[in-house]
A and B are shown apart, each in its own frame.
Chain A
């Protein structure tokens, strides 16, 4: 009996202590005690965890580097592929812009019929300013047909094969184009040169040329249709002792980077050679 009561008392005391501690904990009275007991444990656990992670990293990093390298190679190849795609798309955009400008130019001149042709080469001789285009007689191209871009006159077809044609540029030293000054409505001759510079020849001295004056084809001679834009006057050379004055002309067409041109197919050049008088012996 005595033993039983003693055990009961011990259990009851223990239960009261536990209930008391739970009550204190629920009431928030054990906070400072937790702080002083748990914080060191948290610190120890943090230290242990960091050391363990360092050790884990030490063991697993080589494998990660290998996988990262593989991934890096994959991504680099992907970047290269995308960069190539970007370059290709930029090229397509550039070609599209050129073509849309040419279509726009053709729309503004519905009286002409055009065939677009890509520039595929230049004359092997450095003395000549000729280009080679990828359309020929199979596409209806003929000798003498004028060639333009949306920026102005380019030249005319000099020779034709079934699948290609050679175009003499207006910058060629052998090229002479009959042109008209837009303001004064006077005719002149546009001459090429070995440097590709254009000059106006045979301008009467009584004309006052201004910089920026627009030059158009006159249609005289039958080699080119009239009113095609050629360029603008950028400089005048006039000497009182000369019969005629000359002028430098700047074309808007960049002849060094021609990519696509338009051939006017419904223009028939006139051969006036039989009409040119020959001296009687």
Chain B
């Protein structure tokens, strides 16, 4: 069920990303809704499908984006690895972990994008990219981290209800 849900949910998020989020930049950075959803999903306690979600989301974004070498797929898998690691280490304050994973995840994804573009022959100025794209994107992602976490948390509770012994 959780895997089946990933297709429509991540599909809608990719569409929102290309139609809405990409047209609402802060400086030149934009929010990454798929990254936020995958990070929030990976932090849920009972969720075991985080890797599959990351794969599905990564393939979807790689299909739409012009970034070379399936960069979004690799990036989302790395972010999921980070999220799962943080969840094992810090289990009491998932909101704080969400913020941390969002910020570091944005840096990872943008670092990978820059490296892939550099390899593809399109050199990007690092300082300018960091100042005009990465940091504004990270700020937007942090602003949206809380509502996205709450939304994904509700979905996780709906899919994996807590069993109560009577």
CB-CB contacts below 8 Å: B4-48 with A: 14-15, 17-19, 21-23, 25, 28-30, 32, 34
Q: In the bound complex, what is the Cα–Cα distance between A122 and B19 (angstroms)?
A: 6
Range of interface residues on B (Cβ < 8 Å):
20 to 34
Residue B67 lies at the interface, judged by CB distance under 8 Å to chain A: yes
With A130-B66, A166-B66, A174-B122 already in contact, the answer to whether A124 and B22 are too (CB < 8 A) is yes
Chain A nearest CB, measured from B71 CB (Å): 8
Residues of B within 8 A of A174 (CB): 117, 120-122
B161 interfacial by beta-carbon distance below 8 Å: no
Taken together as a complex, chains A and B put the C-alpha atoms of A159 and B65 apart, in Å, by: 10
Closest to B110 in A: A127
Query: Quick one: which of B89-145 are within 8 Å of A by CB?
Result: 110, 113-114, 117, 120-122, 124-125, 128-129, 132-133, 137
Task: State the interface size on chain A (CB cutoff 8 A).
Answer: 21
Point out residues on A near B: beta carbons under 8 Å: 120-128, 130, 132, 158-159, 166, 168, 173-174, 194-196, 256
**Pick from B61, B64, B65, B129: contact of A194, CB under 8 Å:** B129
Are B113 and A194 touching (Cβ within 8 A)? no
* Closest chain B residue to A127, Cβ basis: B113
- B113 and A123 contacting across the interface, CB-CB below 8 Å: no
The chain B residue with its CB closest to the CB of A167 is B66
8 closest A-B pairs by beta carbon, nearest first, are A121-B18, A174-B122, A122-B22, A126-B30, A124-B17, A130-B66, A128-B66, A126-B133
Distance in Å: Cβ of A192 to nearest Cβ of chain B: 10
- B23 contacts A125, C-beta separation under 8 Å: no
Bound complex: CA A132 to CA B61 (Å): 13
Most buried by A among B29, B65, B72, B110: B65
